[in-house]
Amino acid sequence: MKGKGDIILNLSDVWKIYQMGKVKVEALRGVDLKVRRGEFLIIEGPSGSGKSTLMNMVGCLDIPSKGTIRLDGQDISKLSESELAKIRGKTIGFIFQKFNLLSNLSALENVALPMSFQSVDENKRIMRSRKLLDIVGLNKRYNHKPNELSGGQQQRVAIARSLSNDPDIILGDEPTGNLDTKTSQSILKLLSDLHKNEKKTIILVTHDPTVKKYADRVVRIVDGKLSESVIGKN
């Protein structure tokens, strides 16, 4: 484990170009971005700005048309889908706007699922899932299925699931987008506490301006380009 403050993610002159019939669409145009280990980073921008494409790059869901992406020193720019999947499973935990929980599984089983893909022993999966649900305040909801939980509780399960394989980076795609204001603040406070207590690198892609106060740094993307960084809290 490297020390807090070194560069865990480094995007250098990253372009993503889609061919739409005879038209080329430049979704990302020469993006440079360095993320420090242990940083809480917000990526904001209007609809169509390139936020989702940038999230796909950061989350190892896609590779750039041009440029390089280094994750913990490894160049992932030209890896195969299977190689990217292995890195995602071990290094990045995802939180989605729509929670993406499996409706037929309990909270405990949803949290344990990513560990099964990493061949973690069943007893260890259960113990860790209980611990993570305790951390997010759901110690009395182990056996509840998603339809028995509120939206905020479902997102807490999703956060616990994102931590299941002890990833280096937590990546959230509009994680408060489907929640009311009070619940959103509760979820953001939880992520802030995880950042402080678990020393996780957290990257949130959002258009919600209230998220900024939790961040170490905010960067804005417009028309596929990053603007100057805006410093958040110290």
39-61+80-231: what fold?
Rossmann fold (3.40.50)
Sequence spans of domains, the chain? 39-61+80-231
Q: Would you tell me the crossing angle of helices 151-162 and 181-198 to the nearest 10 degrees?
A: 20
Rounded CA-CA distance 53/60 in Å is: 11
Rounded CA-CA distance 1/184 in Å is: 32
Q: Which tens digits make up the pLDDT trace of 95-139?
A: 988 889 999 999 999 999 999 988 899 999 999 999 999 999 999
Mode of pairing for the β-strands spanning 169-173 and 201-206: parallel
Q: Which tens digits make up the pLDDT trace of 26-69?
A: 999 999 999 999 999 999 888 889 998 999 999 988 999 999 99
Of 121, 78, 115, 76, the residue nearest 93 (C-alpha): 115
